[in-house]
Amino acid sequence: MARKSTAFVTVDFDKPGKQSGFIHIPHSPHDDAWGTTRIPVAVIKNGEGPTAILQGGNHGDEYEGPIVLGEMVRELDPGAVQGRVILLPAINVAAVEAGRRTSPVDGLNMNRTYPGDPGGTITQQTSAFVNDVIYPIGDAFLDLHSGGSSLDILPSAIIEPAADPDHHKRNAAAVLAFGAPLTVVVDNLGERRTSTAASVAAGLTTVGTEMGGGGTVSLEALKICRRGARNVLAHLGILEASPNQPAAADRPVLTIPGPPGYVFASANGVFEGFHPLGTEVRAGQEAGRVHHLGDPSRPPEILHYAADGILYGRRQPGRVVSGNCCLVIAAPYEGQLP
Amino acid sequence: MARKSTAFVTVDFDKPGKQSGFIHIPHSPHDDAWGTTRIPVAVIKNGEGPTAILQGGNHGDEYEGPIVLGEMVRELDPGAVQGRVILLPAINVAAVEAGRRTSPVDGLNMNRTYPGDPGGTITQQTSAFVNDVIYPIGDAFLDLHSGGSSLDILPSAIIEPAADPDHHKRNAAAVLAFGAPLTVVVDNLGERRTSTAASVAAGLTTVGTEMGGGGTVSLEALKICRRGARNVLAHLGILEASPNQPAAADRPVLTIPGPPGYVFASANGVFEGFHPLGTEVRAGQEAGRVHHLGDPSRPPEILHYAADGILYGRRQPGRVVSGNCCLVIAAPYEGQLP
Amino acid sequence: MARKSTAFVTVDFDKPGKQSGFIHIPHSPHDDAWGTTRIPVAVIKNGEGPTAILQGGNHGDEYEGPIVLGEMVRELDPGAVQGRVILLPAINVAAVEAGRRTSPVDGLNMNRTYPGDPGGTITQQTSAFVNDVIYPIGDAFLDLHSGGSSLDILPSAIIEPAADPDHHKRNAAAVLAFGAPLTVVVDNLGERRTSTAASVAAGLTTVGTEMGGGGTVSLEALKICRRGARNVLAHLGILEASPNQPAAADRPVLTIPGPPGYVFASANGVFEGFHPLGTEVRAGQEAGRVHHLGDPSRPPEILHYAADGILYGRRQPGRVVSGNCCLVIAAPYEGQLP
Amino acid sequence: MARKSTAFVTVDFDKPGKQSGFIHIPHSPHDDAWGTTRIPVAVIKNGEGPTAILQGGNHGDEYEGPIVLGEMVRELDPGAVQGRVILLPAINVAAVEAGRRTSPVDGLNMNRTYPGDPGGTITQQTSAFVNDVIYPIGDAFLDLHSGGSSLDILPSAIIEPAADPDHHKRNAAAVLAFGAPLTVVVDNLGERRTSTAASVAAGLTTVGTEMGGGGTVSLEALKICRRGARNVLAHLGILEASPNQPAAADRPVLTIPGPPGYVFASANGVFEGFHPLGTEVRAGQEAGRVHHLGDPSRPPEILHYAADGILYGRRQPGRVVSGNCCLVIAAPYEGQLP
Amino acid sequence: MARKSTAFVTVDFDKPGKQSGFIHIPHSPHDDAWGTTRIPVAVIKNGEGPTAILQGGNHGDEYEGPIVLGEMVRELDPGAVQGRVILLPAINVAAVEAGRRTSPVDGLNMNRTYPGDPGGTITQQTSAFVNDVIYPIGDAFLDLHSGGSSLDILPSAIIEPAADPDHHKRNAAAVLAFGAPLTVVVDNLGERRTSTAASVAAGLTTVGTEMGGGGTVSLEALKICRRGARNVLAHLGILEASPNQPAAADRPVLTIPGPPGYVFASANGVFEGFHPLGTEVRAGQEAGRVHHLGDPSRPPEILHYAADGILYGRRQPGRVVSGNCCLVIAAPYEGQLP
Amino acid sequence: MARKSTAFVTVDFDKPGKQSGFIHIPHSPHDDAWGTTRIPVAVIKNGEGPTAILQGGNHGDEYEGPIVLGEMVRELDPGAVQGRVILLPAINVAAVEAGRRTSPVDGLNMNRTYPGDPGGTITQQTSAFVNDVIYPIGDAFLDLHSGGSSLDILPSAIIEPAADPDHHKRNAAAVLAFGAPLTVVVDNLGERRTSTAASVAAGLTTVGTEMGGGGTVSLEALKICRRGARNVLAHLGILEASPNQPAAADRPVLTIPGPPGYVFASANGVFEGFHPLGTEVRAGQEAGRVHHLGDPSRPPEILHYAADGILYGRRQPGRVVSGNCCLVIAAPYEGQLP
């Protein structure tokens, strides 16, 4: 009641078959008094079975998820589905249309707005709608991220940790089923405002990804993502198992070792990293340098790694300001797995 | 006289040894009535010999040139020089400080401002200074470009065509001496407002490059650039020949076959290219597609190649608007070479 | 107490006679550390009688209300008043000074901020002041809106629905007394954050309007508004009844039939509506089209009405983005009236 | 030569039949190093006959021209044409895509850039292309304007005065053939940088229009425009005469009597005009007033007409700043007509 | 728990000696997915004794505090300390780097955000960190402000009133120990969202300052600030008493007499104040005028003082908009002092 | 002819008596198709005598000139004039209304646009109007500048050097007649695009000023300016000599010794100057330092004077970027004086 929304939807989540429509969030800015933000949604329902929610476009500059989910909207045969698939290929649609991580409407990073606010800004209203209306009708949630404009990341599937050990194992099993070359446990330093944290809080089996990045569309990441989304649906029993499912056991599971896993810029300038993604590095080793291009007689500042591990992410834009994340290290995960 | 500038310089171009200082272009915006735009410049002079002008930062988001020339400012031993090296590592310094192709001060792309205007905006005054003061004291000009924020390009050395056949051969010889994996003749559809076109017009031996891009610093391109700059100085007799000079004959020379060499976006959306850089492609072949992510039920638009050749450049940002350059094809060069 | 404000007022709401002054909301942005947002307010008090609050400028680009209330501030004779009139002709003064629906200070639509927040942004502080200080001393509230920059609307008086049937009838009677050519019941899809919803929640007799629009000042709407504001004061017994009061019975009462009452743009482009305001239309009928002017060979997209009724509102700016409200339909109201 | 352009075109102006394509103006901003501005162009050619150039989108917020010319691109049967029609429905395409009078790329009003500059900004390059490449192959030029975002204007056809009496009569005859309800001679206070002034300078028979405005699409203006464009082609002998051609003699010819024809805002505020378009007014009469809505106790400032005539144009946005054109008067034209 | 933060710190507040590091507030905007806002912090700890928190840069355009605290970070000898000094020289670091009162990241005035919100924007997260983590480990808090860009203020130390008389005396004693030429009791019209109000709420002995301003660095204010910060530490027993401590009794204690203490602009224009800072003025006296420079024939508007006292603050920028604070009066303080 | 303007004026420069009106420069931006930029102008003419042009607002944030000239417009008695005074108190009116050095319309510094361009932007059209229409009817030109937002300058009268010795003496005599505390010869490093350089080029007796600054209105500078403007008119024989004319011989004449006269910021940060205006300094002496407030452990950079002289100007805003003018030195003038 405190959380009553004015949003409305043009699909019926309970109707069998395939429907493609929109969630309308009423929005009343200067240039559109009585219009809406129009978020694409599709439902594919057939027979009995679990409900999987597949989401892309949480960040508007991470393209593999929206492309793959758009293909599913157009191509997935309802007859092949056992249960229900809810597709949200461009959940933060204003950010997607702008190709920006954050919404150009309210400046917010949707993945820092959960559980949202139905009386808040558009992004807060959207996350409130997902939290209050979509999660309660789902069993599993797949949130497809990529590195975005600022990071290039080794394509990987992501385990959002759950406090309950059984829930954690359930998540891990689904993530491993995705079949990415790499699996990483990411808790975002304990951040609770993400969609996957909210999905875990709502009890759903939760799967994340980080695919390529650099603000571009990666051919390789698209392939992994296409296959992985279907693998997860097969794992849940909604689709038939695909024959090309790789063996989970062969792929490493890593985690980011807290603050020391990140190398931050210590000055404004241009960052030159010394190693390609995937390199094994050690704490204390030189990681890169920040150049002062406007005054070349001033020597660049050297940055160092603060943890052992492999180079998992790397800043894309050369230009940095102090505090920017330049490099990310991942180390072996010691926690429980299914 | 019509072209009198108010600029002043804190180095003496005729003094032996190494000096590092600044070109000051007086600039009088709102927040700095009597200040200047302060462009780094270094001169390294020793004995008799030709003068080479090495420039980076023509576009402020192409980092390999400025990094390599900054290293030279700090590390090049004057005793190793025979003649004179003038280093301009960040010529459009406001763009370099902003990490933008174009100047944040006047919005101009410096490489469309030659021969400049000493009574114009800061970028126009800067190109006028290079054109009127620097080119006349030089014998050769090396302009180090990369792909920048919007393009990822196969690292290559660039021949700016000269109308005079001898001048053209002189340019080609110096470019081949650079020793890039690829050499490309680029005339920018006949554009005369670039720094290399102006350098050719001034009679200088002229060498260009396109190194990587994607708005980031490339480890590989840095290596090519470091070696190539020294190779050109060796070719000119200013430095000793480096032992690692590759044989020019082994590397292909290509050119962009005019308008059909470019694949432009035909709609606003997100571009997915179908092939990696270096792929051999044919006119008529499907090249990629533009996705409408805000309305996934609408099928993407297919783009096609319009020329045979290899995929030489590829747009980095996924987001495109109609007219954006998505792909660039290079085909074998049939013109004269040294 | 949790809702303590730092605002102060330069008029005394309890003093007889006419006073014109300002509500000061302390505001501390970059360029004014210790200044205030200065909202015009006038009080006209005489003898015993009810208190009517007349508000304009909730949206800063709806001009008829502020003009008519400004005339009242300058021209209304205190001797003609029986009770009290509180005039707030430009409540969101920063938006009014900018001619924008939303505040340029915090980007907020004041009509989505009730009950406000005295510890929030300027617009939130302003709505908190109205809610906490002004509503409690009033008996009736008239909020004068027009179509604004984005909509052209048939001039009409608006009934904000109240849950309590007696309150609802009281509101309807006052709205019909306004004497607009048309009366419409508008619940904004259940929106509770508007000033009229908050006024109803506070128990005040509440009257709204929608007058013309298109971002301009309408001669006809000004006349309706001038007369209507006085009619409402007469209805409340604060002014003598004006002789030109039309018979309410002759004018239709309509309502917007929920989501189907709106036609939203399905694509970015330029909207061409097929019918003038007031046209009777049917669900399924072609309503207009969205042109792709940058690519004229692409056919425009056709939009359709989704409800029967008359064309009540129409988008003013030709340019639309997907989700913009292009057309609004009103249908006969079936609810209770006085 | 000094005016060499790098633009290229994907249609062949000399080929019979209908072609729809693009003029590409190479454009190299931050986010698109090697892309183009892509301006739609169509050519319809059949048999022998004159060449008419039909242009819309000179200002990007004047929609009737682009809509009507887009219809012609899609619908005009080449077999019905005797000669050649060149259609430029969205000449300042960046402004059209933005719905702005001026280009968002360089801030320029295209209609103040003639004869353009092929080495200038995109808008200057575009007008240079029209001036240097399109005008020389044309016999007649029709430039379809509307009132745009800031003005609402009585739909009218416009005579751009020519110094040569025969040329002037030729223009007037073609304008009268357009068949607008009103014909007005407009010299823009002698402005020579407009496309119609440049077309006259190039010797072409030249026709202008001003259709509605207010930033919206007018049903009535669309009809006038659709019919008028065909009427002009019929007048030139390119199309068969349409049967619904009205008699020119019945419609008035007016002109704007220089500076006194304009009423300018004398203060910042909100403008309320006192009369509807078409009203007959006299010099000295009260024309409207500028309200100070932020301080309603301050009386509004009264504006007066400075010429006799009819009210021909009226500012749309209520908000004005000092110097804004609030009202435009047109008076009978005394000059020569065919 | 509801207030759990993701921030982390690179210094150990409990470790003896001097450490200089950073508070990292994770921040995930478009151009830096996994980076942080990096706020400088230093701890100097030695032996037993109270903990003083010294803060600068609450507003980013008030420079004396950050400069003086930066000197302490570099120069204060840990051996001279008895207890602990926590230095936060640039707490709103994004505002400091921009030279803006308010944060360029979220537009917030940090001094209107207490007690902050660990799930809010960066500025809200920062004030939450100070409130939740720093205040609880401190005994005294010194917040160094200056007049900033918009005000020029007589250098003074500020007493934030405390409700508890003993706490109030404790604050007053510490403020008088600072030894500014002037001491002023400032309650910001009862504002509870400031860092000093939050510090008082947390029970800390609290000292504020206002030093010069005009957006510049004042030689005189630097001297007062340098000496005063050490005087406060001496007063707390953390440093040895400095020999140059002036006698508190000789310096006046004033207060701002509520709303009448401020002279606000009554119109947009350019403000000319009639008196220098420190002038004794009377209520009703002419204080200055607002010029209408765009229309010099219109006479300027006269402003008047509304309270007796001395001129304590004066607007720096000539340009004003209605509501801007032009002048501030301070009158003798009648409240209790130690 | 090439320089034909569309501007028009509402005063008659040849009519006796006092007239106050506007120069209208037609301007056609997005939000005002047919409006004008409206520049205040007044003419006071009586009997025979020379014509003096008095200008303020060349830079929009230098307020003493516009205030003093506005007073003259309102207060100067035509009967007291012998000849003609043309007053342009706010020549760059858009910049004056914005309180910006440069025009918010086209971003230009008017004082770098002479001789202007009647086919250019608004600022270029304005300077063209002054150059082509106003200068030719004048005998003397007084351009009233202050330090503006970025500089605080010792109030002084300015001699713009003339190549012709007689012209130079004529200028110097008029400048000394102004009676400022200080007289300075300023050639702006040879800049020819200023209004005073253009006035000298047109042969007019030319007087400049620099009055205070810091973006504020200075009480002292207003007094000097008020008296000086009348002194110059008396010197020209247009007004009676004022009795308070000081003896020119007692005041020093200085000049800025070229590039060494300026101290530029060598890094981004916050500038602390070590000396107040008027201090005598020596080349090599420490002048100030640039602080790195975001990283207090990094020591500040020291700046040094490069010339002997007195401290004539000082940057107001604490925040600097590399190249900003921090300090200006003036040294004794050795050239010829009357």
Measured between beta carbons, the chain E residues lying within 8 angstroms of F96 are 293-294
Q: Which residue in chain F has the smallest CA separation from B30?
A: F101
Contact between A33 and C328 using a beta-carbon 8 Å cutoff: no
In chain E, DSSP finds a helix count (H) and a strand count (E) of 6, 18
pLDDT at E206 over 70: yes
Q: Please say whether the beta carbons of A146 and A221 come within 8 A.
A: yes
| Six-digit token string for C87 | 């005039």
Nearest to E322 among D266, D294, D322 (CB): D294
* Residue A42 at interface with chain B, using a CB cutoff of 8 Å: yes
Return the amino acid letter for D332: P
* CA A47 from centre of chain: 29
Q: Please say whether the beta carbons of F56 and F68 come within 8 A.
A: yes
* Residue B61 at interface with chain A, using a CB cutoff of 8 Å: yes
Q: How far is D25 from chain C (nearest CA, A)?
A: 14
Q: Please say whether the beta carbons of F98 and F66 come within 8 A.
A: no
Distances (CA, A) of A145 to A153, A198, A207, A225, A262: 10, 16, 10, 10, 19
Measured between beta carbons, the chain B residues lying within 8 angstroms of D118 are none
Neighbours of chain F (3+ CB pairs under 8 A): A, B, D, E
Contact between D28 and B109 using a beta-carbon 8 Å cutoff: yes
- pLDDT tens digits along F267-315: 999 999 999 999 999 999 999 999 999 999 999 999 999 999 999 999 9
DSSP string, F167-228: HHHHHHHHHHHH--S-EEE--GGG---SHHHHHHHTT-EEEEEEEEETTS--HHHHHHHHHH
pLDDT at A2 over 80: no
Sign (positive or negative) of CA dihedral B230, B236, B237, B238:
negative
Nearest to E101 among C8, C33, C37 (CB): C33
Contact between B323 and D30 using a beta-carbon 8 Å cutoff: no
Which CATH fold topology does B259-332 show? Answer: OB fold (Dihydrolipoamide Acetyltransferase, E2P) (2.40.50)
Beta strand A286-291 with A309-315 is unpaired
- Higher-confidence residue of C156 and D249: namely C156
Q: How far is B45 from chain C (nearest CA, A)?
A: 50
Q: Which residue in chain B has the smallest CA separation from D7?
A: B189
Question: Please, which residues have CB within 8 angstroms of residue B116's CB and are 6 or more apart in sequence?
Answer: B124, B125, B126, B127, B128, B129, B130, B131, B132
Cα–Cα distance, E142 to E144 (Å, whole number): 6
pLDDT at A197 over 70: yes
| DSSP helix/strand/coil, A73 | helix
Q: Please say whether the beta carbons of C202 and C135 come within 8 A.
A: yes
Average the pLDDT over each of B188-192, C6-10, D25-29 and give the range with the smallest value: B188-192
pLDDT at C248 over 70: no
Cα–Cα distance, D221 to D237 (Å, whole number): 24
* Residue F35 at interface with chain D, using a CB cutoff of 8 Å: yes
Q: What is the DSSP letter of F14?
A: T
Contact between A322 and F267 using a beta-carbon 8 Å cutoff: no
Cα–Cα distance, D182 to E257 (Å, whole number): 66
Contact between E36 and A317 using a beta-carbon 8 Å cutoff: no
Contact between A36 and C323 using a beta-carbon 8 Å cutoff: yes
* CA F251 from centre of chain: 20
Contact between C6 and E190 using a beta-carbon 8 Å cutoff: yes
Q: What are the beta bridge partners of residue F38? A: F24
Q: How far is F54 from chain E (nearest CA, A)?
A: 14
The share of chain A scoring above pLDDT 70, in percent, equals 97
The share of chain F scoring above pLDDT 90, in percent, equals 94
Which residue ranges does chain B devote to CATH 2.40.50.100? 259-332
- How many residues in total does chain A contain? 338
Contact between C268 and B267 using a beta-carbon 8 Å cutoff: no
Measured between beta carbons, the chain A residues lying within 8 angstroms of F322 are 294-295
- pLDDT tens digits along A146-167: 999 999 999 999 999 999 999 9
Half-sphere exposure of F25 (CA within 13 A, CB side): 27
- Higher-confidence residue of E8 and B4: namely E8
Q: How far is C268 from chain B (nearest CA, A)?
A: 10
Interior/surface letters E137-176, b for 16+ CB within 10 angstroms, e for the rest: ebbbbbbbbbbbbbbbbbbbbbbbbbeeeebbebbbbbbb
pLDDT score for A3? 77
* Residue F226 at interface with chain E, using a CB cutoff of 8 Å: no
Neighbours of chain D (3+ CB pairs under 8 A): B, C, E, F
Contact between A267 and F295 using a beta-carbon 8 Å cutoff: yes
pLDDT score for E246? 59
* Residue D318 at interface with chain F, using a CB cutoff of 8 Å: no
Q: How far is F294 from chain D (nearest CA, A)?
A: 29
In chain D, DSSP finds a helix count (H) and a strand count (E) of 6, 18
Nearest to A119 among C100, C193, C323 (CB): C193
* CA C284 from centre of chain: 31
Q: Of the candidates C203, C212, C219, C150, which has an alpha carbon nearest to the alpha carbon of residue C182?
A: C212
Nearest to E31 among A147, A149, A313 (CB): A149
Q: How far is A187 from chain E (nearest CA, A)?
A: 11
Cα–Cα distance, A35 to C320 (Å, whole number): 10
Q: Of the candidates F152, F155, F154, F188, which has an alpha carbon nearest to the alpha carbon of residue F315?
A: F152
- pLDDT tens digits along F98-154: 999 999 999 999 999 999 999 999 999 999 999 999 999 999 999 999 999 999 999
- Quickly state the pLDDT bin for D335 (edges 50, 70, 90): confident
User: In degrees rounded to 5, what are phi and psi of residue E62?
Assistant: -120, 105
Question: ipTM score here?
Answer: 0.95
DSSP string, E209-235: EEEEETTS--HHHHHHHHHHHHHHHHH
The share of chain F scoring above pLDDT 70, in percent, equals 97
* Residue C267 at interface with chain B, using a CB cutoff of 8 Å: yes
Write down the pTM of the prediction: 0.96
Measured between beta carbons, the chain F residues lying within 8 angstroms of A322 are 294-295
Q: Which residue in chain B has the smallest CA separation from C268?
A: B268
Q: Cis link prior to C50 (omega < 30° from 0)?
A: no
* Residue E268 at interface with chain D, using a CB cutoff of 8 Å: yes
Beta strand A51-56 with A83-88 is parallel
Q: How far is B196 from chain F (nearest CA, A)?
A: 28
Measured between beta carbons, the chain B residues lying within 8 angstroms of F325 are 32-36
pLDDT score for F336? 78
Distances (CA, A) of E18 to D311, E21, E75, E258: 78, 10, 10, 43
* CA F269 from centre of chain: 29
* Number of other CB atoms surrounding residue E248 within 10 Å: 19
Contact between E26 and A328 using a beta-carbon 8 Å cutoff: no
* Residue C293 at interface with chain B, using a CB cutoff of 8 Å: no
* Number of other CB atoms surrounding residue A171 within 10 Å: 28
Return the amino acid letter for F265: A
pLDDT at C234 over 50: yes
Q: How far is C186 from chain A (nearest CA, A)?
A: 12
Measured between beta carbons, the chain F residues lying within 8 angstroms of D258 are 8
Tell me the average pLDDT of chain B. Answer: 96
Q: Which residue in chain E has the smallest CA separation from D321?
A: E294
Tell me the average pLDDT of chain D. Answer: 96
pLDDT score for C160? 97
Tell me the average pLDDT of chain C. Answer: 96
CATH fit for domain F8-255, picks 3.20.20.70, 2.40.100.10, 3.90.1150.10, 3.40.630.10? 3.40.630.10
Nearest to A29 among C109, C258, C262 (CB): C109
Q: How far is B35 from chain A (nearest CA, A)?
A: 16
Distances (CA, A) of E171 to C161, E130, E245: 54, 19, 18
Q: Please say whether the beta carbons of E57 and E95 come within 8 A.
A: yes
Q: Please say whether the beta carbons of D197 and D110 come within 8 A.
A: no
Question: Residues C90-105: what's their mean pLDDT?
Answer: 98
- pLDDT tens digits along E143-166: 999 999 999 999 999 999 999 999
The share of chain C scoring above pLDDT 90, in percent, equals 94
pLDDT score for C1? 40
Task: Give the ranges where E143-244 is alpha helix by DSSP (H).
Answer: 165-178, 195-201, 219-235
Measured between beta carbons, the chain E residues lying within 8 angstroms of F148 are none
Which residue ranges does chain F devote to CATH 3.40.630.10? 8-255
pLDDT at E1 over 50: no
Q: How far is A30 from chain F (nearest CA, A)?
A: 16
Q: At what angle do helices B64-75 and B219-235 cross, to 10 degrees?
A: 60
Q: Which of residues 118-157 of B touch F (CB under 8 A)?
A: 119
Half-sphere exposure of F81 (CA within 13 A, CB side): 23
| Six-digit token string for A277 | 């993604």
pLDDT at E10 over 50: yes
Contact between F272 and E222 using a beta-carbon 8 Å cutoff: yes
Mutate to test the interface with A, among B270, B271, B274 (most CBs of A within 10 A): B270
* Number of other CB atoms surrounding residue A304 within 10 Å: 14
* Residue D242 at interface with chain F, using a CB cutoff of 8 Å: no
Q: How far is B217 from chain A (nearest CA, A)?
A: 6
Q: Which residue in chain D has the smallest CA separation from F28?
A: D109
Measured between beta carbons, the chain E residues lying within 8 angstroms of D294 are 322
Q: What is the DSSP letter of B262?
A: E
Q: At what angle do helices D64-75 and D219-235 cross, to 10 degrees?
A: 60
